[in-house]
Amino acid sequence: MTFASIVFAVLFYGATAVLLIGVGLRVARYARTPAPLKIPTTPAPTSRGGVIGRMASEVVFFHSLFKANKWIWILAWVFHVALLLVLLRHLRYFIDPVWEWVVLIQPFGVYAGFAMLAGLIGLWIRRIFVQRIRYISAPSDHLMLGLLIAIAASGLAMKYLWHVDVTAVKVFFVGLMRFEIHPLPTEPLLLLHLALVVALMIVFPFSKLLHAPGVFFSPTRNQADNPREQRHTSWAARVEHTGAAAAPANRGGPVPNARSED
């Protein structure tokens, strides 16, 4: 067992815990917070089934984004579909024996790596050169694209430039899932790739990547348009809640001593 194996084992356990617990807590918070009023963006479906359809068209096709801007849409959609394929392709490092369909998508997964890179670079070019989007970007928005590009590029480099012993990598990850630590190859590129993935997992619950769970909780998209037919009553929940929030301890509340100088 090498030093690297131990460090990366710890990193992956830690990052997985942060990701799952962090996102879990966020989702629980979203679910717990009342939606006091009916605010679907209309025209909206009038039934639960219709809402599921609307949500599916948002999540699968980015329907609203399609209406908004074809350039952002195509780049974003290519990037996300490719990301999904790439993630599925990576299942082969965690499952033994590898499921049939995971084997089938392997070749697509490789093309997807390039598509993902292309989509991300396109998005970054827009972020840098379109004045409006540059204006709304914080350094973290650029960094996030840089991080994903670095992950994709280091992954593809291992595939095409500096090969890595993937069988040993698989032994390492399957081992982790059984709480055993096996040796991890120590090619710098692999360690870089893995370290970046760890970073992504850790920032996920604290960053705009929360859009992935968030979209399902967006009241303008997940509410049915039926306020006359069905009385929406989480208003009452809000009133109770407000009473509770007025109590001294408010979770996630403001830090005292708001500084006024900058």
Residues 31-70 that bind ligand HEM (CB under 6 A): 59, 62, 65
- Establish if 125 lies at the interface with ligand HEM (CB under 6 A): no
The mark string for 184-223 relative to other proteins (x by CB under 8 A, - otherwise) is: -------------------x--xxx-xx--xx-xxxxx--
State the binding partner of 97 from other proteins, ligand HEM, none, CB within 5 to 8 A by kind.
none
Closer of 161 and 246 to other proteins (Cβ): 246
The least distance separating ligand HEM from the CB of residue 144, rounded to whole angstroms, comes to 5
Residues 123-162 that bind other proteins (CB under 8 A): 126-127, 130-133, 135-141, 143
- Establish if 43 lies at the interface with other proteins (CB under 8 A): yes
The mark string for 9-28 relative to other proteins (x by CB under 8 A, - otherwise) is: -----------------x--
Nearest to 136 by CA among 196, 208, 231: 208
State the binding partner of 178 from ligand HEM, other proteins, none, CB within 5 to 8 A by kind.
none
Nearest to 76 by CA among 61, 89, 90: 61
Single residue of 209, 218, 225, 238 touching ligand HEM by CB under 6 A: 209
The least distance separating other proteins from the CB of residue 14, rounded to whole angstroms, comes to 16
Considering only 13-21, 159-167, 208-216, 242-250, which stretch makes contact with ligand HEM by CB under 6 A?
208-216
